[in-house]
Amino acid sequence: MHELGIIVHVAKTLKNVAQQNNVSKIGSVTLEIGEVSGVVESYLTDCWQYYRKKDSLIENSELKIEKLEAVTFCDDCEELYPTVRYGRQCPYCGGYNTWLAVGSECNIKEIEAC
C-alpha cells in the first residue's frame, strides 16, 4: 500500500506551502488522481483519516479527490482515445505506436486555507 506514502508526502508539501504563506490551518486539499495511477481511492481516504489526526495543520481538513480519465495518444494517426476502453491498440488505425498522455498522475490541484 503506497497510499500512506502519498499522504505523508502531501502532508509535508502542505506544511511547506503553509509556512511559505503564513497559514496555520488547511481547510481542504484537492488531489487529482489518474485513472490508471494505481492509487486506490478508498485506501487513500483511509490513510488521510488516519494521518490527519497526527498533524494539527490538517487535523480538521477535508480530502477531495478528482479522477482524471486516462487518455492515450497514437503517434501513427495522431489521435487521442480513452485508454481503459481500448488499451494500447489505437481504435482509429489499429497501431500500437501509442503512449499514455494523461491518467497516471497524482497531483495536488488545490489547497484551501482556513
CA of 50: how far to CAs of 8, 12, 58, 90, in Å?
Answer: 11, 15, 11, 42
Task: Tell me how many domains the chain contains.
Answer: 1
- 62 assigned to some structural domain: yes
- 93 assigned to some structural domain: no
- 19 assigned to some structural domain: yes
Sheet containing 80-82: give its strands across: 80-82, 71-74, 98-102
| Contact in structure between 70 and 102 (CB atoms under 8 Å) | yes
Report how far residue 38's alpha carbon sits from residue 41's, in angstroms, rounded to the nearest whole number.
Answer: 9
pLDDT reported for residue 1 = 56
Residue 14 sits in a domain whose CATH number is 3.30.2320.50
Mean pLDDT by 10 residues, the chain (114 residues): 91 96 96 96 96 95 97 98 97 98 97 93
pLDDT reported for residue 2 = 87
Q: Which single residue is written with the C-alpha cell 494521518?
A: 51
Range of the domain at 51: 3-69+103-113
